Amino acid sequence: MRINIIAFFIIFPTLLYSQRKSDLGLCLGTAYYMGDVNPILPFSSPGINLGVVYRYNFNIRYVLKLEANYMKLGANDANFTDYFQLARNLSFNFPAYDFASQFEFNFLPLKFVARKFGLSPFISSGIAYKLMQNNNAFVFPFALGVRSTIGENWSIGMQWNCRKTFNDKLDGVENLVDENLKSAIHNNDWYFFANVFITYKIFNSNDNCPAYEKDL
C-alpha cells in the first residue's frame, strides 16, 4: 500500500507535466495534534512541517493539488492543569508523513499575467493517507488559505490544513469509554499543519497557446 501511494504521487504529476498548466513548489510551517493528550489547545507542542506541492490548474478557479508533507507531532500531559492528565503523565513525539490529493477552489479568479498579481482565498478537500509509527491509514483532509499569483511564473500563499483521522490511536492513548458510548466523530484524533508556500509554473514558454494564456 505504501509503495502504491508514493508511486501515485510521483507518476501522476509526470503525466500532467506536459499540459503547461502546472506549478511546483515548497511548503514550510508548523504542525500540531489534538486528541487525548492535547484536548483543547491549538498549536500546543508545535513541530516542524516541510512539504512539496504540485498544482494542476484546470482554469482560473479550479485546481488539482497534490501534496507530500513531513511533520513532527507531539504532546505532553505535563503542559495541562487537568489532574487526570498530570497523574497519567504521558507524552509522545514522533515523525509523520502525509500524502494528499485535493481539489482546490479559488473564490476569485487567479491568472498568471506579466507584471501583475492576483489574490484569492481558497478551500480544498479530497483524500489523504498518513504514515505514522504503526498507525498508517486514510484520513479526511480539509484546507483553507489564500494564494497570490506574481507575474507569469510565481505564486505564494499560506494555508491551514486539517486532517481528521478515523481512529483514536494516533497518540497511543485510546479513550477508556464504554463501547456503547463511543462516538465515531468525537473520539477520533486530529492533526493540523499551517504553512506558507511558494510555487513556480513549470511551463511558461512562448509557444503557449492563446486559449491557455487567456484562461491562466
| pLDDT tens digits, one per residue of 41-94 | 899 899 999 999 999 999 999 999 999 999 999 999 888 888 888 888 888 999
| pLDDT tens digits, one per residue of 97-112 | 999 999 999 999 998 8
Using the structure block, give the residue that is written with the C-alpha cell 508511486. 7
pTM attached to this predicted model? 0.80
Q: In sequence order, what are the beta bridge partners of 98?
A: 69, 130
CATH number of this structure's domain 2-215: 2.40.160.20
